[in-house]
Every structure is written in structure tokens, then in C-alpha cells.
Structure 1
Amino acid sequence: MDVPEQAAAGSAPQRVSGFFERRREQIAQRWADAPLFRSVFTVSRDEAVEACKAVVDALSDVTATGRIEDIGAPGFATVRRQLGGMAATRARTGCTSAQIADEVAALRGPAVELLREEFPDPSTADAHESVLALTLVMSTLRLVVMETALTEGADLIERQRQQLLEVATPVIKLWEGTVAVPLIGTLDSARSQVVMESLLEAIVDQRARYAILDITGVPTVDSLVAQHLMKTVAAARLMGAECIVSGIRPAIAQTIVQLGIDLGTVVTRASLADALAYALGRQGIEVSRADAGASAR
């Protein structure tokens, strides 16, 4: 059976599937020069061609099943891994979603040109149906890539958010057996959880007996924040460390009283310096001012 007979055989999706198989190399060569592939595979064109072949094979599998409008079709799994990752890479370089969508849509043109060459008369019903089927599967491909890129972007944002939370809650070793967490900014449930985990890990790593939570940089304290602080203090005690809360400003003190929150069991100090002096004193270390020593001489 020659190419024209093969092109006219079977249903439109089956014809397109056969087309992908026969023209695999040609499609891959043309797609390798498209902006989507060229901008990612900047070193080796051969790598771009191989990536294109993997996508062509996946589209051939999808069209063979006839599920050309189903983004959940199993054949799109390869596309999600290949083009989705590429789209995410493009997004990280500043490429917008609209640009990525246009780059994926640009793959349709070269494929349609090659498909029309398979029909002696491109105006026949079989040719029109085949082009329509190819257009539909390429539109579905675009949706799959955009869905994957958005998911990758959301995952990246979540990882960056987690990293920022960890960076924003450093645990500092102030003295042997004494660690501190200087908190700055608003405390929410997610950040409070990171604070607790970081502090408990530091208590274990540093074998700390005293842990200071300094909230000087926290603008407001509500009942939820206070509960998180109490939970952190309780967790530190279970780890064998005494927790000291410092930096409670007058406005925050009034808020805590008005909310009826009992901090009676929590050691508090006005400043981080006072909290450190308390922790050192509990360890039998005396802190004296340098000017006091100078005047004595």
C-alpha cells in the first residue's frame, strides 16, 4: 500500500496516527527548529530532535486510541513529562503563559503541511477530516502542556515559599546550650509550624537547655499566634529545654491580657538581651558591664 492509500485508510484519528508513524523523522526535524524546543535545547540540536520524536510517538499513541480530545489519555503521559518540563523551564526564564501557549500552537503548522502532502487532492473529505483530527489533537496537546506548566509553576512557588519560611526563621546559637529564634513579621499557622520544627531540631543538634523566642519584630499577636507560641514552649519543654519569650511590647502585652491568654507558666523578658542574661544566669554565668569593671579600677 503506497502513501496515498495509507493516508485514506481507516478513520481520521487512525489516519493521523499512521501519519505520525510514517513522518516521525520529518516532523521531529521541523519541530526541533520551533522556538519551544530551540530555546530549551540550546547546545545540541540532536537532543531537541530526540525530544520531538518522543512527543510524536506519544501523539501517535493518543490518536490510535481515538481519544484526541481527552487530556487524561494515557498517551499524554510522555507529553506531560517532556513538554510540561520544557514549558516550566521557559516559565522560569520569564516566559509568560501566553507565550508558552503560542509556542506549543506553533507546532501545528509544520505537522499540517506534512499531512496535506499525504493526500493527492487536499480538498477531499478524508483530507479535511484528517486535518481536523490533527488540529484537535494538537489543541489537546496545548491544553496538556499548559496544565502541566501551571502545576509545575504552583509546585515551584510552594517550594520557594517553604524555603522563604525557613530562611525567615533562623535559629541562632547565642551561647553554649542557648539558642534563639528572632521572629520578624506576621506569624501564621504555616510559619509557626516551621518555627517549632526548626527550634526543636536546634535544641537536639545543639543540646540546648534554653531556647529564646524573640517576638520584638512581630507587629501583632492574636489568640492564634499566642496558641502557637504556647505550643512551641510546651514542645521545647518536652525536649528538655526551658523556653523564654522576649520582646513583648506594651501594645502586645495589653492585647494578650484583653484576650485572656494565660502566659503565667511561660518565662518572659522585655528584650532579647534580658532573656540571654536570664539563660546565662541560670547556667551560673555572671554577666557584668564593661564600664562597671573600668570604674572599679
Structure 2
Amino acid sequence: MFSTRFSAFVGALILAPCVATAAPMIFSAAGSDAASIQAEVDAFRDALGALNPNEPENFKGGRRQIDWDGAPDVVSDPNPFPGDFFNRNFAPLARGIEFRPSENPKAGAPEQIAKGFQLSSTEASGEPVRFGFEKELDVFSPERLFAPTGGTIFDVVFFDPADQKTPAATRGLGIVFTNVSEVEDEKTKEKTTDAMVNFFLKGQDIGTDHPAFSVNAEASGPGGLSFIGVLFDEPTIVGATVQAGYIPFDTAKSGAGVVAMDDFIFGEPTVAAVPVPASALLLGSALFGGAAFARRRRRQAA
């Protein structure tokens, strides 16, 4: 197992004039099983604070999370999963988060954009578990996994848990991935991975802007697990575009190259400020991609 935690100094963080935004702390780990990433996931949870009740109320600080495992069979494989399932006005579904096919033309080619979502089945359901790729996909919290269908790129957006319609921001977002592979960037020829989270901050429009910065999950190897968590001092993240591999599981002929997700962990969604006019975003867009990262890496045996 190897883990990384570092501060990301990103030019786009100066998008909002006259508002000082501290650089985020990034939590990252990967390995062959849940134990390989447990410490980093726990550190991220602790940094966010206590787990809040899944009520349609506002709480000061703390976190909410989704492990998918309590969802019913009616919204699981072979049935579609509603992207707004966890943005309802009643417990335990009041969590202030939605999943949507990306509408940003910069997110990727049309054929890469997800058309919908699905949860994997439980053993008790009689359906194939882990989308039929049990050997390639592992779970962090047994036993369901989450994945986009019809494509691999989708958006995560936050809402006020108390009214479900007002956009909100969060201090942090963490995602557990499974089966992340190392790949080569076609343009730069540099090594990267097939799982990435693109973050949008206050003042940005997830539907039109470039993300403020992007973070790739570490390669886990076949059937392994990876974790990425990004944390700010204040509610700053308004959404994220996720790249979950390049091969949708519903069209894959094997589990090689398929990426699914388990737990989503995020800070209490807080009502976001009024977005900055588009003209104020030009500086951030120009600086996108020019991030410099100061890393501190710890390596341990898997």
C-alpha cells in the first residue's frame, strides 16, 4: 500500500476576487484490499468531523456519506439508480448530493458521457454481484458498488439538505474507487491513471467552466481499491466531474479496465454564495492545468 497527502497550490483558487482561499489538503491511498486504504479514509473522515444524521436539516460542520449498501433492490442491478436518490426531503435519503450525466462540453466526447447509473446487486438478490465482475471489482464496505452506465464521465453536485433545490458547497469530497489502472496520456505520454476527479469551486459553473484542478486516483492494480479525498478549510467545492475508467461496465466484455466506486464521503453541504460573473472566471480558466503540487509521500508494503 502507498499513500499520499499533500497541499495543492492551484492558480484557479484565486477565482473569487478579494476572497482568500487556502490550498486544499489531498488524501490519497491505494492497495490490494480495504485494509490498504482504511487509515487514509479514516483520516479524511476525522478531518471532516462527526457523521451527521441523514435528516433534511442543516448542521454546522461534520460530514455525510454514502456506502450504497442500504439501498433496495428496486434501484439496483438490473434496475437503474436515480441520480437524485440521496437528495430527498426525508430520512435517510436527505444527504444533499446528486449524480448527473455531465453537460459540460469540456468534460469529454459525447460517447464518454454517462447516460445513467446503477448499483450492483447483493448475493441475496439472485443477480450477478459486482456487475458480474466479482474478481476484478472489490468493495470497501460490503456489498454494493456504484457505477455510471452508457459512459464513464458524470457530475457530482451538492444541494442544501433542508430544501433539496438550493445549490450548496462542501468542505471536502472523498471517493473510493476499485480496479484503477495505470495508463499513458496520449498527448504527454506521461503515466497517469484511468480514474480522475475534477473539482469545481465557488464562483464556477460545472456546466460550462474548466475545473479548478484535477486529481487522479492512485493505481490499485486489478481488483484493488483506491481513495481520493480533497479537503478545504471552508465550504468551497460546489461540484465535481468524475472519470470512472474508459470502459462502461454495461458494455464491457471483461472486467479489465472497468472502474466502479464504493463510499462517497463529503462535508455537510452548506448554501453556496452567489456565483461570480463569468468574466471573473477568465483568470482561473487561463491558469487551469498550471497547478504545482508539493508532495509528501509515505510508502509501505502492500
Q: Which is higher, the Rg of structure 1 or of structure 2?
A: 1
TM range (shorter): under 0.3
Of Structure 1 and Structure 2, which has the larger fraction of its residues in helix? 1
Question: So what's the TM-score if we normalise by structure 2?
Answer: 0.19
Of Structure 1 and Structure 2, which has the larger fraction of its residues in strand? 2
